[in-house]
Homo-oligomer: A and B are copies of this chain.
Amino acid sequence: MPKLSRAAKNLRRTTIEDAARDLFIKQGFHATSMRDIAKTAEVSLGNLYNYYATKDAIFESIINNYQQQIDEKLRVIFSQIDEPLEPESLRQMGEMVGNLVDQHSDFWLLMYIDVLEFQNRHFRKMFDGLTDRFQRMFGDKFEQAKTRGDLRTGVDPATVFTAAYMQFFNYFLVEKLFGGNRHLNLSDDQALNFLTKIFAYGLLSETKLADYKKSVNKAIV
């Protein structure tokens, strides 16, 4: 018979992982000691080993939980997109990606830890088959746009969408984590507009583009 309820145990685990995550992010995996984690989590050193077999196990558990959290946020982001190929939607996605990077920069730092110390073993799936996933997600919308004649011929919409997604991500990561302060010489808002514009030009047919230009920004012509 267990003396602690499952809920109480999970609470302890959460406390430990929160502490460990903060420390890993602040000072790296190797630089963080089990004693650091114990002290921050207000748990004895030995007791850590009642919850995790090794220090690595703590890292892996953090990643798995965090990954789920981020996956859910991404799911919400994409679920809010009705028409993925509308410039407005692209921009909206970029904005939400920016928020995700802002609010969870620690998660991406964990990814770099993973790249360096675990050959990105835990994060590989973030990029694996990315285009295919978007195709599965929005395939019908892509098809509809194509039959409507909204798209340039010879340009695969799923690939453009993926490229836009990646560029938005990279833009904010560079700004947030790499100290590239305004590396595009634009404010975040302006950068979003600009990148959206680029991908819209790359994606849309001339007739469709004409609408975009007219409606959004007359200065562009």
- Residues of chain A at the chain B interface (Cβ within 8 Å): 27-31, 109, 111-113, 115-117, 119-120, 123-124, 126-132, 152-156, 158-160, 162-163, 166-167, 170-171, 174, 177-181, 183-186, 194-195, 197-199, 201-203, 206, 217, 219-221
| Cβ-defined partner of A159 (8 Å) among B124, B131, B194 | B194
A interface, over-half SS? helix
| Cβ-defined partner of A115 (8 Å) among B109, B127, B160, B206 | B109
Residues B127 and A183 in contact, CB atoms below 8 Å apart: yes
A194 to chain B, nearest CB (A): 6
Number of copies: 2
Cα distance A183–B129 in the bound complex, in angstroms: 5
Residues B183 and A130 in contact, CB atoms below 8 Å apart: yes
Residues A166 and B171 in contact, CB atoms below 8 Å apart: yes
Residues B177 and A166 in contact, CB atoms below 8 Å apart: no
Residues A180 and B130 in contact, CB atoms below 8 Å apart: yes
Residues A198 and B197 in contact, CB atoms below 8 Å apart: no
A94 to chain B, nearest CB (A): 12
Residues A28 and B159 in contact, CB atoms below 8 Å apart: no
If A28-B116, A112-B116 touch, does A127 touch B178 (CB 8 Å cutoff)?
Answer: yes
A130 to chain B, nearest CB (A): 5
A199 to chain B, nearest CB (A): 7
A128 to chain B, nearest CB (A): 6
A220 to chain B, nearest CB (A): 4
CB neighbours of A163 from chain B (8 A): 167, 184, 194-195, 198
CB neighbours of A183 from chain B (8 A): 127-131, 162, 166
A53 to chain B, nearest CB (A): 20
Cα distance A206–B205 in the bound complex, in angstroms: 12
Residues B152 and A120 in contact, CB atoms below 8 Å apart: no
Cα distance A111–B177 in the bound complex, in angstroms: 11
Cα distance A108–B201 in the bound complex, in angstroms: 31
